[in-house]
Chain A
Amino acid sequence: DQQVKQNSPSLSVQEGRISILNCDYTNSMFDYFLWYKKYPAEGPTFLISISSIKDKNEDGRFTVFLNKSAKHLSLHIVPSQPGDSAVYFCAAYSGGGADGLTFGKGTHLIIQP
């Protein structure tokens, strides 16, 4: 049973436009959410995170929104750039925090010139 779901395996966006990547979760014990970016043959790289006590966190071109009642978060990238083409993973920590991250399956973002 998948506790973190990324329902779009891929997403294509034009350069300069907004990219919106979505993530849903089922476990109410999740209280800290992270987005990772991954290039082929490399490890995931941390992008941005949000605690469950917030509903928005912003870092440069990246903004993460959390809707706790809907158990939904999204990552906005504005403006999208060619270097943003990668696989993006949504991940979550549960309340204990010491037992690792639970990951979604990822969304492959393709930025078209």
Chain B
Amino acid sequence: NAGVTQTPKFQVLKTGQSMTLQCAQDMNHNSMYWYRQDPGMGLRLIYYSASEGTTDKGEVPNGYNVSRLNKREFSLRLESAAPSQTSVYFCASSERKQPQHFGDGTRLSIL
């Protein structure tokens, strides 16, 4: 019962480098989400995908791109990493208007 799996768990990047965070869910959910959590803050929505083939911006999309590869997978890409993107990134999935299931996060540091 894997649920939502995120890779990698930890990553250190240099400013300007690019990387893709991977997320996969095995619950056959239509909707998938990417959030970031900064110290002392709640989770903030970066991008979401309401169904396969669609993506939309959330509250804090600048500096990120996403791809809904298929129903199971939703990736988040940083094209040119900046120190302000140092954060913990969470992927989640759900059916519409249902409780979201979260992965354990990717801890990303950008130097």
Contacts and interface: CB of A to CB of B under 8 A. Distances in A.
Interface of A: 4, 6, 9, 32, 34, 36, 41-46, 49, 89, 91, 93, 97-106
Interface stretch (B11-19, B65-73, B79-87, B96-104): B96-104
Contacts of A46: 99-101
A7 to B, nearest CB: 13
Going nearest first, the 7 A-B pairs with the smallest beta carbon separation are A103-B42, A43-B102, A97-B97, A100-B45, A46-B99, A98-B50, A103-B43
Contacts of B74: none
Given A44-B90, A100-B48, A4 B42 contact: yes
Interface in B22-47: 31, 33, 35, 40-45
Contacts of B35: 100, 103
A5 to B, nearest CB: 10
Contacts of A32: 97
A45 B35 CA distance: 14
Contact of B31 (A36, A98, A104): A98
Of the four ranges (under 10, 10 to 19, 20 to 34, 35 or more), the interface on chain B belongs to 20 to 34
A45 B91 CA distance: 12
A89 B102 CA distance: 13
A99 B56 contact: yes
A43 B90 contact: yes
Nearest to A42: B104
B48 A98 contact: yes
B99 A98 contact: no
A41 B103 CA distance: 11
A42 to B, nearest CB: 5
A45 B102 contact: yes
Contact of A97 (B42, B56, B96): B96
Contacts of B44: 103
Contacts of B104: 41-43
A101 B102 contact: no
B102 A44 contact: yes
Contact of B48 (A34, A36, A99): A99
Contacts of B102: 36, 43-45
